[in-house]
Structures are given as C-alpha cells and as structure tokens.
Chain A
C-alpha cells in the first residue's frame, strides 16, 4: 500500500538552532499538507501546496518557518530559529483529488523536541 514518507522520525534540537523535516507524498498526489500537532490536541494546518504552489500558509509563522515544494513532489519544512514552543509532532499528508472529494493520507510524522 502506498505511503507518505517522512524523515526523520524523531529530532531533538537546541533552542535557536535550525531544523528541517522532509516529506515524500504518495506518487501522483498533487496536494501536500504540513500539520503541527501539540500533545493532547488535534493537528492544525501550517501550509498547503497544490503542485509546487502554496495555496494556504495563513497559519504558518513566517518569521521562523518556511516550506517549499520545488518540483511539486517532495517537500521540506524548516524552522529557524527553533523555540521551546515548537516542540510537537509535525505531520505531512497528501491527497489525490483536486475536486475535494478525496481523503487524506498521513505519514508517520516527525516528533520534534526543542531543549
């Protein structure tokens, strides 16, 4: 069964350092999403891509977060500098349908701990 690949699975970084996460969606999925999930809460959307274009980044803290999907396939989410409050699970998801009828497939996530 096709999967959304994410790496690394776990990351521990010191405050003020830079950190990056990678996501490879299911082949052919045009839409890619990055979510952040704080412990005990539901995931919240950070950024949505349609192919290589950003569709929604209204909840992305742009002073420290950046995301790219240069060739419309895999994607990288970066945080610089990391803050203690950034500790969370970062989830990537992809979707095939452009007509909003399809479901989402999520990766296993990257657990970030900022110390």
Chain B
C-alpha cells in the first residue's frame, strides 16, 4: 500500500522567505505526482503535475522536483507572500491517487 508522508506538518515564515515543502512516498512505481493547495474549508487547487519521466516542473514562483527512485518530491515557493498561506498537499498516482496529510503554511506579514 502506498504511504505518502509530508514533513513538516506546519510551517511559519516571515514574508519574503523561501519555502521548502517535502513529500516522500514508499512505492516508487508511480505514473505522476501532483501538488495541490487547499484553503481552509475549500476544495483542492492543482499547482503542479510532474510525470514520472520528469525531474521538475515550474510555474511562476513555484518549482517542484521529483526523485522517483528515492521516493521524494520537494515543492519550492520563492519569495513567499501572505497570500501563500494555505495547506499544501502532495499526491502520487500509481493505480489511484494517494495523498499525504499536508503541510500547513503561514506567511507572516
């Protein structure tokens, strides 16, 4: 059974600092990995999708890397802003989408 772990569970940083969010998974036989953002009480918004053949994906201030062989992905958010405050979820797709519990980020103005 695929297990997805996200560390840390919570993170608080001052505005302008770079964010580093970690995701690890136990079974490397995945098709893709997706990072989502979730605001309190809301649904999930897709941020980045990385195929298993790719090493990284970038969108604006967001960059996600994937090391499938070691079962790790990292989401980098550059120059954080208060609007980046949310929970960030990592999900891997093998035969179904399995989620980590998320990292809750607070960016202090």
Which of A's residues lie within 8 Å of B, judged by CB?
A: 6, 33, 40-45, 48, 56, 89, 91, 93, 100-109, 111
Contacts and interface: CB of A to CB of B under 8 A. Distances in A.
Contact of A106 (B32, B36, B41, B100): B36
Contacts of B41: 89, 111
Interface string B18-54: 0000000000000110101000011111100101000
Interface of B: 4, 31-32, 34, 36, 41-46, 49, 51, 89, 91, 93, 95-102
A100 B49 contact: no
A33 B31 contact: no
B96 A56 contact: yes
B34 A103 contact: yes
B93 A100 contact: yes
B43 A42 contact: no
Given A100-B31, A101-B32, A101-B51, A45 B96 contact: yes
A17 B101 CA distance: 30
A50 to B, nearest CB: 12
A38 B46 CA distance: 19
Nearest to A3: B43
B44 A106 contact: yes
